[in-house]
């Protein structure tokens, strides 16, 4: 039986969920597909463990991964991504797969793996949304005759968005437009606006409920959606950098530049009147506001739009994502994929799916 060795950057919500899912399915994979997954290393932002003998047993026993790491004999202080990768490569584990569940700057690590033929499975958007030259090298190394780069979860989490678009392009379809709502957080805020609540109240509540990042500006500036939109645009062949995108955040630049989170939150109610006016104008036309990404005619736009209530995007509620793909083949009736586009379990499931596919093409 062939053993595939896994090294994983990140052990937070998504990373932790993935470890649990994989370790739980090791026996089933052996029985059904005849291969074995074995974790040889995991690292967080402060600690790391590498053990060529395998970590599955320890990971299965100790479900608190932080405690498992600090209790593991020979754990080390995390030396940073490239130094960590060097340690892994010096041990030269056969059939290595590197998994990235961080949100860190990891372009160098991904490229370094690919240059050595090591497959990378990533939920981290940053490398694939990095400068086009890096993207281009990733694609050439990771998406040539053998697929070694898997990033389904970088847009829409576990939803089959990127693979579906990839397949349309591969089979010669022409993608005319990709439009969608790609942020659960901003989707929730837009849904609450539908009910007539004040914008500032909604954001305060969303922050309190943990629906936003600790600094809600990281959601409201639109950059997370912009990265996903850029990834989808590049998937259909647009040669774009982030600076080419037209990104309108959900709050004014003045607010985004507030000196602290508290200062920002205190200024939020300044936006209430603008939103009340926009909502009233939309409602008058039977429309609602949605934070949309639109990829079309070689360009990519991200921002708030007024859309018909009974359209696929307008009927979206709560934190769901939606992607509406109009192509030469799917012209009158687009291909629509909808569901939660964030969350540890669904994102980990998407990563695990990528891992299984990655193994299947290497085997």
Q: Which is nearer to a copy of itself, 284 or 332 (CB)?
A: 332
Single out the segment in contact with a copy of itself by CB under 8 A; choices: 26-34, 89-97, 113-121, 255-263.
26-34
Residue pair 148/141 in contact (Cβ under 8 Å)? The answer is: yes
301 binds a copy of itself (CB under 8 A): no
147 binds a copy of itself (CB under 8 A): yes
The bridge status of strand 335-340 relative to strand 320-327 is antiparallel
Number of residues interacting with a copy of itself: please give it, by CB under 8 A.
50
State which of residues 35, 75, 78, 132 lies at the interface with a copy of itself (CB under 8 A): 35
State which of residues 73, 77, 90, 145 lies at the interface with a copy of itself (CB under 8 A): 145
User: Alpha-carbon distance 237 to 174, whole Å?
Assistant: 10
Residue pair 238/295 in contact (Cβ under 8 Å)? The answer is: yes
Q: Which is nearer to a copy of itself, 76 or 335 (CB)?
A: 335
Q: Which is nearer to a copy of itself, 139 or 269 (CB)?
A: 139
Active site residue 228: yes
Q: What is the dihedral of CA 281, 286, 292, 298, to 10 degrees?
A: -100
State which of residues 146, 174, 252, 285 lies at the interface with a copy of itself (CB under 8 A): 146
Q: Name the one residue in this structure whose structure tokens are 């070689």.
A: 298
SS (H, E, C) 12-78: CHHHHHHHHHHHHHHHHHHHHHCEEEEEEEEECCCEEEECCCCCHHHHHHCCCHHHHHHHCCCCEEC
In the complex, the residues that contact a copy of itself under the rule CB under 8 A are 21, 24-25, 28, 32-35, 144-147, 158-160, 163-164, 167-168, 170-173, 310, 312, 315, 318-320, 329-330, 332-340, 343, 345-346, 349, 352-353, 356, 360-361, 363
The residues assigned a catalytic role are: 228
């Amino acid at each position: 039986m062939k053993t595939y060795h896994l090294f994983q950057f990140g052990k937070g919500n998504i990373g932790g969920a993935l470890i649990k899912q994989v370790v739980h399915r090791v026996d089933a994979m052996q029985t059904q597909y005849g291969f074995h997954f074995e974790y040889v290393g995991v690292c967080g932002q402060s600690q790391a463990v590498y053990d060529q003998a395998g970590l599955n047993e320890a990971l299965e026993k100790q479900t608190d991964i932080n405690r498992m790491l600090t209790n593991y004999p020979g754990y080390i202080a995390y030396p940073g991504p490239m130094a960590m990768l060097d340690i892994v490569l010096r041990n030269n584990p056969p059939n290595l797969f590197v998994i990235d569940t961080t949100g860190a700057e990891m372009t160098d690590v991904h490229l370094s793996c690919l240059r050595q033929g090591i497959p990378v499975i990533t939920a981290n958007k940053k490398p694939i949304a990095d400068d086009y030259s890096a993207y281009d090298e990733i694609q050439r190394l990771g998406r040539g005759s053998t697929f070694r780069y898997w990033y389904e979860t970088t847009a829409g989490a576990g939803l089959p968005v990127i693979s579906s678009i990839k397949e349309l392009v591969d089979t010669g379809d022409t993608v005319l437009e990709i439009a969608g709502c790609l942020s659960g957080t901003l989707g929730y805020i837009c849904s609450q606006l539908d009910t007539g609540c004040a914008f500032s109240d909604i954001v305060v509540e969303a922050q309190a409920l943990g629906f936003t990042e600790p600094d809600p500006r990281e959601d409201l500036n639109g950059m997370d959606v912009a990265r996903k939109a850029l990834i989808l645009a590049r998937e259909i062949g647009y040669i774009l950098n982030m600076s080419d995108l037209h990104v309108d955040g959900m709050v004014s630049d003045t607010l985004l530049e507030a000196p602290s989170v508290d200062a920002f939150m205190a200024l939020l109610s300044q936006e209430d009147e603008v939103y009340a006016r926009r909502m009233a104008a939309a409602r008058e036309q039977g429309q609602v506001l949605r934070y949309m990404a639109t990829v079309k005619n070689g360009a990519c736009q991200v921002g708030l739009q007024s859309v018909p209530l009974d359209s696929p995007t307008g009927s979206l509620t709560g934190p769901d994502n939606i992607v509406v793909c109009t192509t030469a083949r799917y012209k009158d009736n687009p291909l629509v994929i909808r569901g939660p586009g964030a969350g540890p379990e669904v994102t980990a499931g998407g990563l695990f799916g990528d891992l299984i596919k990655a193994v299947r093409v290497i085997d």
